[in-house]
A and B are shown apart, each in its own frame.
Chain A
Amino acid sequence: MEPIYLDHAATTPVHPEVTKAMLPVLQEVFGNPSSVHHFGRKARQVIDEARRVIAGSIHANEKEIVFTSGGTEADNLAVVGTALANQKRGMHVITTQIEHHATLHASEYLEKLGFEITYLPVGPEGKVSVDELESALREDTILVSIMAVNNETGMIQPIKEIGGVLKDHPAYFHSDAVQAYGLLDINVDEWNVDMLTASSHKINGPKAGGFLYMREGTQVAALQYGGEQERKRRPGTENVSGIKGFQRAVELAVEKRAERRQEYGVFKQIFLQKLKQENVRFIINGIETETVPAIVNISFPGTNVEALLTNFDLSGVAASSGSACTAGSIEPSHVLSAMFGKGDDRTTNSIRFSFGLANTKENAEEAAERVASIVKRLAQ
């Protein structure tokens, strides 16, 4: 049985065009971008071109792009790096209960250092409230970090509105846009964000690449110690071929954004339609019309995550739920717990399906058939 990949929010296949763009760099451009000779300059050229393209994709200046090893590092740098560099102005940070662990665990680290963190709650719809943010803001708030699109539910967060509120507040505003980048049109000035995280492998680029956009003047303490790369904000020799691949993935994403949104949305609708036709009992977590087209999170009453995911995999459907603990078993999702309360059935019977490059209308429908027969058997 041909396995069907419905886990694009976890990672995506590398686009063939991306591989094509990377190969010559891997084969020929081996120089160290910091070196003051021909070989180094060649490599530096590759990075600078990528920086221009990527900055353009979010309407930023190229000096404001810091390449990192991925979304996690960019989130860590944004949260911990700015908090450390600005603690004299205040020790209060605001984030949400539904952030990625890269932000949450970084925030917990700050708590250990003596910072005070407010974790904004969400209601059952999984959306951060602008009012709640406003009332949580204090004079000593130095950073607000709120994701643009939730990675488990696909819910789009009101970043622009929050950016509006923060216009008159000195706190830095960081948004983890890993799941938004490539699907939403991002303009850092319209959103009024000071920092923004994106990742290469979520948009059909190679793994171990990402960037943190940092508005000019943002004070940050580097979390690595070493050379002068990325204006000392991220020491370490650059991943030149990876950055080249990231650039190509960004070009494709920008060029095909409308097309992809439409296409992935169709896959999602075909999938949901088929489940309905098969009379599967399910509830969509969040508000479907406010999600990105690529992600849907579904609760299947009367089932449990471990039996679902194992059965799906054995029947050739790759999906996911929450996060696995270090011993492999699935922990109830912190996002769904924030939405529905700890211990709610939906935290242990919900699955995230996410669509993308590996899908066709046919395999989206086929996957729904496989899912339907398993859910009907388990929910009996």
Chain B
Amino acid sequence: MKDKKDTRVVVGMSGGVDSSVAALLLKQQGYDVVGIFMKNWDDTDENGVCTATEDFDDVVRVCNQLEIPYYAVNFEKQYWDKVFTYFLDEYKAGRTPNPDVMCNKEIKFKAFLDHALSLGADFLATGHYAQVREVDGEYQMLRGVDDNKDQTYFLNQLSQSVLSKVMFPLGHLPKKEVRRIAAEHDLATAHKKDSTGICFIGERNFKEFLSEYLPAQPGKMKTLNGVEKGRHEGLMYYTIGQRQGLGIGGSGDPWFVVGKNLEENILYVEQGFHNHRLYSDGLIATDLNWINEERLNGSMECTAKFRYRQQDSKVTVSPLGDDKVRVEFHEAQRAITPGQAVVFYDGDVCLGGGTIDEVIKDEKYLDYVG
């Protein structure tokens, strides 16, 4: 093991408080720290100013406080090809994609990692809330200790070779502590608001953004029994389990999206949060990644998350070929959504995950969820 002062760690800095504190902690530990800002999206206005400017300025201020060098790198083309194209394709297919998972897989921990290595880095660090542990030469990824911030859900596609080069300096800290450290050191980003939403959309209106890239096709809203309940603005604007924006009046329980019919451009709605049409007992997942890189032989019991920040649920996972599994829920689950990630855990260890492809109920695919 090299001396820390001879160990170069490139920190992916977004201009937020998390990556700022990640850099600070590594610097305090004595590493040779280099801060790099990634620019993945071009939203330059007619004056040549982009919204990334303020974030980069914050990176500059923090790096100057820490006395570490800082640079920027542009992955707009890679991001467009690998993440945004996938994002649009999934919406076209009536699904609800997770661009953060794809961004981590293809950009942050691939293109960006390669860039860091080309700069002579020994490690790439980010401000993610997750932990890496080496056990007998094998790398494990553990949840961040802050339950509410744990980001392993988004990191489920990382491989052994990636984890061997990655550091998550915040994984053992609660978010409150990260804010406290930032304030204690008077970092420029100490009181900056956390970013929300998908990075390239930012604070903009999601519908408006999507309509710039995909033509919206309004159509009918119906119950699964065929009763018309009004019009929808385009299937891509709705996700399974959604309540907002349906505009169905009348008495009784509120209405929810329960499915889509892409061919006939119909949005299916039903009444009541716990409507049985929203519940399922299993799913098929594809694009499987097992972090220990071992193939699944036979069924396995573990826990799973089907969305970010959800409580774990008990499941049984069975292999269906190399890249595909069937997941059976021990208790029925509400609003399982194709396109989202399913991520598996054994206690605090994240085992890996995949993309939800089909939803199952009573041994049948629920074709209405799209």
Contact = CB atoms under 8 A, between A and B. Distances in A.
A and B together in one complex: yes
A310 B56 contact: no
B300 interface: no
Contacts of A378: 118
Contacts of B39: 325, 327-329
> What DSSP secondary structure best describes chain A's contact surface?
helix
Contacts of B55: 327
Contact size range, B:
20 to 34
Interface of B: 34, 36-37, 39, 44, 48-50, 52-53, 55-56, 59-60, 69-74, 115, 118-120
Contacts of A330: 72, 74
A327 B74 CA distance: 10
Contact of A314 (B49, B73, B74, B119): B119
Nearest to B73: A306
B26 to A, nearest CB: 16
18 contacts: A306-B74, A306-B115, A307-B115, A309-B71, A310-B36, A311-B119, A313-B69, A313-B71, A324-B72, A325-B48, A326-B52, A327-B50, A327-B55, A328-B71, A329-B72, A329-B73, A329-B74, A378-B118
Contacts of A327: 37, 39, 50, 52-53, 55-56, 72
Given A306-B115, A326-B50, A328-B37, 17 more contacts: A306-B71, A306-B72, A306-B73, A307-B118, A307-B119, A311-B119, A325-B44, A326-B52, A326-B56, A327-B39, A327-B53, A327-B56, A327-B72, A328-B39, A328-B70, A329-B37, A329-B74
B50 to A, nearest CB: 6
Which of B34, B39, B48, B71 has the most chain A CB atoms closer than 10 A to its own CB? B71
Interface in A295-332: 306-307, 309-311, 313-314, 324-330
Contacts of A310: 36, 71, 73, 119
Contacts of B36: 310
Interface of A: 306-307, 309-311, 313-314, 324-330, 377-378
A116 B338 CA distance: 55
A375 to B, nearest CB: 12
B36 to A, nearest CB: 8
Contacts of A326: 48-50, 52-53, 56
By Cβ-Cβ distance, the 7 closest A-B pairs, closest first, are: A328-B72, A327-B52, A329-B74, A326-B53, A329-B72, A327-B56, A329-B39
A310 B36 CA distance: 10
A58 B268 CA distance: 80
Contacts of A377: 118
Contacts of B56: 326-328
A102 to B, nearest CB: 14
A314 B48 contact: no
A231 to B, nearest CB: 33
Contacts of B69: 313-314
B34 A314 contact: yes
Which of B37, B53, B73 has the most chain A CB atoms closer than 10 A to its own CB? B73
Contacts of A329: 37, 39, 72-74
Contacts of B72: 306, 324, 327-330
A307 B48 CA distance: 23
A108 to B, nearest CB: 10
B159 to A, nearest CB: 23
A328 B58 CA distance: 11
Contacts of B44: 325
A103 to B, nearest CB: 16
A196 to B, nearest CB: 28
B8 to A, nearest CB: 8
B79 to A, nearest CB: 12
Nearest to B76: A329
Nearest to A330: B74
A12 to B, nearest CB: 22
A327 B44 CA distance: 10
A80 B335 CA distance: 62
A334 to B, nearest CB: 12
A324 B44 CA distance: 13
A1 B36 CA distance: 21
Contacts of A309: 71
Given A325-B44, A326-B56, A330-B74, A311 B34 contact: no
Given A306-B71, A327-B37, A328-B37, A314 B53 contact: no
Contact of A325 (B34, B50, B71, B119): B50
Nearest to A101: B48
Nearest to A314: B119
A313 B69 CA distance: 9
A324 B70 CA distance: 13
A314 B56 CA distance: 19
Contacts of B71: 306, 309-310, 313, 328
Nearest to A326: B53
B37 A314 contact: no
A144 B187 CA distance: 49
A313 B119 CA distance: 10
Which of A311, A314, A324, A325 has the most chain B CB atoms closer than 10 A to its own CB? A325
A156 to B, nearest CB: 29
B10 to A, nearest CB: 10
